Amino acid sequence: MTSTTSQNPPRPKTPERHGFGRTVWEYTKSLGIALVLAIVIKTSIVEAYKIPSGSMEDTLLVGDFLLANKFVYGSRIPLLDIRLPALRDPKPGDVVIFKFPRDPSVNYIKRCIATGGQTVEVRNKRLYVDGDYVPLPPEGKYTSGEQIEPAGRSPRDNFGPYTVPENSFFMMGDNRDNSFDSRFWLAVPRDLIQGQAMVIHWSWSQDDDAPEWTWSNPASLAGALLYNSVHFIERVRWNRFGQIIR
């Protein structure tokens, strides 16, 4: 008769218990990594913008929120004044975000009309680049009918001829009669270019009856939230979600 020896099965290893400090450190490290990645993406690859004015109507509407490709024109490295190599420069037809030449703390969005070396002229509202007529973009418009601003009084309807300096870009809004653009303050230097508008990811229509709220009056926030909750469905422009900006 063969005898066997009985052995107790091995005990499962108890998971290592981390102290409270170690747990806090792990969460802090993960949050820090996520924050750094978010900053890198925002400043170097893709950034969100809101349209505050009607200068690009009807291509872009007040209350549109869009994403811009910052990589294509050369991203800036966060915290360093270094720009990465660009895939290309803005070209005529691109919708471009840039820093306003007269106040670089403000972002503008316009359509690139001409690049360095090209000559721009507006004659009785009609746009010409290097002598060739350039029609309005598909969603562009005039709002002042046949009213023509005389040359010398305003550059809106009669401008130039003006040759764009090298390494600069001439920008105009698609709403030609209501756009403060390069006709008034000339070309945008390359260093102020930020990114190319890509797609609309959210759109919120204006409502003059909507209550405003301010930090100085916290109670006003409740009224604004209530109003917008009630009118949410009608204020969202559902048909603009995901529209490619051209």
* All structural domains of the chain: 50-204 (2.10.109.10)
What pLDDT band is residue 8 in, cutting at 50, 70 and 90?
A: low
Q: Give whole-number Cα distances, 192 to 92, 126, 184, in Å.
A: 17, 27, 17
pLDDT in tens, 121-161: 999 999 999 999 999 999 999 998 767 877 778 899 999 99
Instruction: Compare 75 and 93 and report the one with higher pLDDT.
Output: 93
State the burial class of residue 18 (Cβ atoms within 10 Å of its Cβ: 0-12, 13-18, 19+): exposed
Write out pLDDT tens, residues 172-205: 999 999 999 999 999 999 999 999 999 999 999 9
Structure confidence at residue 219 as a pLDDT band (50, 70, 90): confident
Please indicate whether residue 73 or residue 210 has the higher confidence score (pLDDT): 73
Residue 7 has pLDDT above 60, yes or no: no
42 has catalytic annotation:
no
Residue 4 confidence (pLDDT):
41
Candidate list 55, 168, 179, 203, residue with the active-site label:
55
Out of 44, 70, 110, 179, pick the active-site residue: 110
Question: What's the pLDDT at 169?
Answer: 98
Q: Is 216 a catalytic residue?
A: no
Q: How much is the mean pLDDT over the chain? A: 84
Distance CA 67, CA 77 (A): 19
pLDDT at 6 over 60: no
Predicted model pTM: 0.78
DSSP 8-state symbol, 70: S
Look at residues 201, 222, 200, 220 and name the one whose alpha carbon lies nearest to residue 212: 220
pLDDT of the residue at 182: 98
